[in-house]
Structure 1
């Protein structure tokens, strides 16, 4: 796996805050597990999830986001991703933070227009995709925040029914999945209730155990896997933890 160098700061209208660009690595989660991918991790988020493994993108109480997520020109982001193999039979996964915060900017338009190959976006499910985003993004991995992941934000901020409905329609078209995190059985039940209440397609739901190491993930996984299966959901691994890669 390689990382791209950070260039000098360009004009802001053509930039996005970038925490890291890395790859190629196997996608570690969800239905595309094992697929070679280049990751573009953008800065800033509209939620504050305590167990988040990407706090460098949003936690202003601990980090200077200007330093951890410096602005990079869209053309430089594309060049860095291509240098790592984006478009060469590899996915490009735009993650965060919350990448859809930036989709009404010129830089986002330039990024989506210029990136080659299949583009995937990882989102917290609080912002609907625009027309251009729907057109260019092949797959959305939507992660509504429940349980410990949602503990720091009120439900009205992290669960937006109209947005979930938009993504549910994309899921029914095979273009999106819902990926939840559960650390114990009550959190699995909370997920099941949310799926039921918002009419999310059951066959497009993945549940991933909470854990930031292979050991903690396995412990949570053993605790929840049976109940996840009983609800008819899919069980998501975290391949990158098992392999010890990003």
Structure 2
């Protein structure tokens, strides 16, 4: 018998998980308000300065073995079900969850998780056929402006991955979500949309902010420009309501 395939030095059959929580309303994008369980994976291949989940990747501040310990697929599935997976959406986020899609544990997890599965990704890794077949929706967030300031453009804007997600967006299986704190960053997002021929109607701009006040300020500054460019504006419902 062959051993299960693992990655990243993890025990076979396990994945690094920072937290599992829910049920909560999805706070962002076109599914805002839908009942959801979140599974947040550890590790990321980018290093976004305003990231609100630094405990998943910032090993200069956190011991990732402690903040993102390995958990078996069975444990993840049971915890997700206890937190609303099945009747609501199951959202795999991070960190960067697609870092783990080559492992046997990832394929097993996709098969065993109940309900409608969504993935939130930074757009640098194209989904493989196993992932695409099981995931109903991808929220694809290329990094620009302040979010992308710590990484070179060639690392955060990967043409092959963006092309794959553009195809999925055309089929209604993905949207693009850019975080922008001002009009200049909205324009930078528009440049990426044009350069990589992303479908405009499937683009959402989300104002930068880690609390309700800062999000509202950024949103008021950019809303008219977002509408002028023909994009959609994403809320952050969880900040507005003061919930997870």
TM class by shorter chain equals over 0.9
Tell me, yes or no, if the aligned pair for 1:75 and 1:110 is still in contact at 8 Å.
no
Which stretches of structure 1, 4 residues or more, deviate above 3 A after TM superposition?
none
Post-superposition offset of 1:63: 0.4
Deviations along 1:57-92, whole A, 9 cap, x unmatched? 00011000000001000111001101122112x000
* Structure 2 counterpart of 1:114: 112
* Structure 1 counterpart of 2:103: 105
* Structure 2 counterpart of 1:224: 222
Length-normalised TM-score, structure 2: 0.95
Length-normalised TM-score, structure 1: 0.95
Q: Distance in 1 between matches of 2:142 and 2:125?
A: 11
* Structure 1 counterpart of 2:201: 203
Q: Secondary structure at the match of 1:229?
A: helix
* Structure 1 counterpart of 2:71: 72
Q: Distance in 1 between matches of 2:104 and 2:242?
A: 36
* Structure 1 counterpart of 2:129: 131
Q: Distance in 1 between matches of 2:23 and 2:163?
A: 33
- Could you say what the CA RMSD is over the residues aligned between the two structures, in angstroms? 0.7
Question: Can you give the 5+ residue segments of structure 2 that lack an aligned partner in the other structure?
Answer: 1-9
Post-superposition offset of 1:116: 1.1
Q: Secondary structure at the match of 2:243?
A: coil
Tell me, yes or no, if the aligned pair for 1:45 and 1:101 is still in contact at 8 Å.
yes
Q: Distance in 1 between matches of 2:37 and 2:231?
A: 27
* Structure 2 counterpart of 1:191: 189
* Structure 1 counterpart of 2:51: 52
* Structure 2 counterpart of 1:8: none
* Structure 2 counterpart of 1:34: 33
